[in-house]
Amino acid sequence: MRATIALMIVSFLFVACSNKKENLCMEKMETLSLVTDEKDHVSNEFVEFVDFLKLNEPELTFNTITKLLIHKDTIYIFDKFGVNTVMSFDMKGNYITNYGRRGKSQSEYIRLFDFDVDDNYVYLYDRMKSKMLLYSHDGKFVKDISSQFHGDGFTVLGNGNFLFSLGRDNGIEKLCLTDSSLKIQKVLLEYEKEEKADLLVSNLFQRCNDTIYYNRPLSDDVYKFSNKGESLGVYKMDFDGNNIPDEKKYSYEALIKNKDESKYTYLDECPLFVNNKMIAPITNNGDRSILYYDFEKKDGGVKSWKNKSLSINDIIAPLYVDDIYIVGRMDMALFEYIKVKDGVPDEIKSHMQEGNAMLVFYQMRK
């Protein structure tokens, strides 16, 4: 009798996992109950101090910084939607080199969608060619690898394999583990039938130390993986009961079509995690905002861009995280949202007024 009951339970769990929307049947699912109330000084509880770095471009070569990585004291930046280029700088902000250029030769790309860096290479993924271009850190082309899919984003793993977020034009596969030659080894997540998978996405992956986080915009789920691509669980975001209903999550287009998008709170990009804290770019009741969450206190709050009432401690456009810093971008357009500008040196203001970009290093409290 006990054996029969056990078999029934196992069978039920198997069916439950098989019927889930996604392939990852995770035992470690944690719901984060998030405070979405506006909190004027919430950043002071998270940010200890702020420092600035001028990026000395050889000329005004990028429109904005979509993605940023720091690897072995080299800063790599990606302008995805403007000039579509990847560049590197040293830790003093001096320009080092560009990686590839647009064209049709083997070493050139048509349209970059993402990049990553490890000890071996700088990886650029060309969605139009369905190819990964590998460059040395000093900008020399090494080789290319073709993929049998169209990827929207990726991260390179510690063993040379990849996690790839696939576009909807591939079929139902959403997130895959590939080997180093871009052959799909395992499908981790699948698309719903109605999902559109918007292409205007920025940072689908974030990494803190050896943990990789993945989220597609409008989804409430943030998936965690090891540096080998092993599933570590998932955070389910509860925005104080203000989440988008499931039937409206399939694309920005579907959300806007209903003309009630300002009613909801949702993630704009993958959150960043550091020192038991989470920083998440969100849209909160129609306002671009940053959500702060402390895992130990299980508390936090939201600071929006509205009314241009931010202080210099407020994290506006977070891009990258290491073990103590969150790094964001700043330019004059973003600087105008800051009301309290105390502590910003005149040379920093002048640099931005000349059309240049800045990096802002926010040291997080322990």
pLDDT at residue 61, as a whole number: 79
- Rama region for 246: left / alpha / beta (φ>0; ψ in -120 to 50; rest): alpha
CA dist 188 and 186 (Å) reads 6
What is the model's pTM?
Answer: 0.91
Cα–Cα distance measured from residue 168 to residue 156, given in angstroms and rounded to the nearest whole number = 21
Mean pLDDT of the chain: 89
| Residues 22, 29 contacting (CB under 8 angstroms) | no
CA 91 to centroid of chain Cα atoms: 22
Nearest to 175 by CA among 153, 201, 202: 153
What letters, b where the CB count within 10 A reaches 16 and e where it falls short, cover 112-121? bbbbbbbeeb
Per-residue pLDDT, 14: 39
Check if the beta carbon of residue 115 is closer than 8 Å to that of residue 122.
yes
pLDDT recorded at residue 185:
97
- Collect contacts of 346-350 with beta carbons under 8 A, ≥24 apart: 347/54, 348/52, 348/54
Reading phi first (left if > 0) and then psi (alpha if -120 to 50, else beta), residue 93 is in: left
Residue 1 has pLDDT above 80, yes or no: no
The continuous run of DSSP H or E covering 287 comes out as strand 287-294
Average pLDDT over residues 20-33: 68
Residue 11 scores a pLDDT above 70: no
Which pLDDT belongs to residue 307? 75
Neighbouring residues of 9: CB distance < 8 A, sequence distance ≥ 6: none
pLDDT confidence tier of residue 4, bands split at 50, 70 and 90: very low
Q: What is the pLDDT of residues 41-99, one digit of tens each?
A: 899 999 999 999 999 988 767 888 999 999 999 999 999 999 999 999 999 999 999 99
- For 109-141, write each residue's pLDDT tens digit: 999 999 999 999 999 999 999 999 999 999 999
Q: How far apart are CA 23 and CA 173, in angstroms?
A: 10
Instruction: Please say whether the beta carbons of 327 and 317 come within 8 A.
Output: no
State the pLDDT confidence band at 9, using cuts at 50, 70 and 90.
Answer: very low
Query: What type of residue sits at position 132?
Result: M
pLDDT at residue 31 in the model: 96
Ranges of H-type helices in 234-323: 252-257
Q: List the Cα angle 148/152/158 in 5-degree steps.
A: 80
pLDDT per residue as tens digits for the range 248-301: 888 888 788 777 888 999 999 999 999 899 999 999 999 999 999 999 999 999
Confidence of residue 23 (pLDDT cuts 50, 70, 90): low
Report pLDDT for 291: 97
Of 274, 224, 219, 273, give the one whose Cα is nearest residue 246: 219
pLDDT value of position 24: 59
Q: Look at residue 27 in the predicted model and tell me its pLDDT.
A: 58
Indicate if the pLDDT at residue 33 is higher than 90.
yes
Closest CA to 217 of 234, 188, 195, 238: 195
Closest to 326 (Cα-Cα) out of 265, 267, 289, 281: 281
